[in-house]
Amino acid sequence: MPTYSVVDFSDTTVKITEDSREYIYKKVYCSCKVLGDFVVFSTHNVETNLLRQQYAILYTDCVAPVGTSAADLKTKIDAIINNYAANAPSVYYGSYYDSTNQTNAGATAENIIQIGSVFEENGVSIQNGDEITVNNAGTYNLQFSAQFEKTSGPDADVQLWLKLNGSNVADSNTEFSIHHNNGTYVPAWNFVLTLNAGDYLQLAWHSADTTVSLLAQGTAVSPTRPAIPSMIVTLTEVMGVSGGGGGGGETINTIMAHIASY
């Protein structure tokens, strides 16, 4: 059985030697957990945002730094994990809605969707009533749903698109149709964009039919139901890393090839 030695501890890495070879586990990409008598290393699956166990070693198989017992080794690894968790970077997000009806300003008008209320936010805010603004650079996922209605006339076509810092985002437009008077249609999709600190996003729409509007509805009874906002939108920072992490049961050599590729 190989002899493992913990060589170095820091806030973001665990450095372990296996006989003459050295491996550095980067906890930005790899979770180092204490489970019973084992140190378990897991890689991050970007697609599912879950951790997958890759390798485990017994404390008793580790030769710790001079004068350090297996119990002390456990304490040190616990401290690394706890310190990383306590100082992990914030995830920036904003979740918003609007509870008012929003009418069509005209047959040739651009309508900017208003956002009047906040569910939760951290590092994201609403400025000027319709600008979803980020305080920190990063890649973000914007998701929304909007409830449209038309009150009279034939079928109505509506287009909805994204704006960045007041300018249209290329190829972001989509057209849909509302087919029934007093019927509703709810477009919902998402955009992923890399933004600079201070950038803001807006959702815009147009319809030549001036009877089209965004519809908000109040609470209802029998059964009791919550109100329906005219629009709901979230902006969430994308927290992912590139690179792969193979399947469970691999040898330490295979796992370290994955980690080295990050």
Domains (ranges, CATH) in the chain?
Answer: 4-89+247-260 (2.30.29), 93-237 (2.60.120.40)
Tokens of 217: 């509805």
Give whole-number Cα distances, 139 to 66, 142, 223, 232, in Å.
44, 10, 41, 20
> Closest Cα partner for 112 from 98, 124, 122?
98
- What letter represents residue 107's amino acid? A
Q: What would the pLDDT profile of 131-163 be if each residue is shown by its tens digit? A: 999 998 889 999 999 999 999 888 899 999 999
Give whole-number Cα distances, 58 to 40, 81, 84, 129, 162, in Å.
9, 17, 22, 56, 53
Which residue carries 């933004």 as its tokens? 195
Element at 255 (helix H, strand E):
helix 252-260
**Using an 8 Å Cβ cutoff, are 60 and 84 in contact?**
no
Between residues 247 and 187, which one has the greater pLDDT?
187
At 124 the pLDDT is 95
**Average pLDDT in the 224-228 region?**
96
User: pLDDT tier at 98 (50, 70, 90 boundaries)?
Assistant: very high
Q: What would the pLDDT profile of 49-82 be if each residue is shown by its tens digit? A: 565 555 566 666 665 554 556 566 666 666 655 6
At 241 the pLDDT is 31
Assess whether pLDDT exceeds 80 at residue 228.
yes
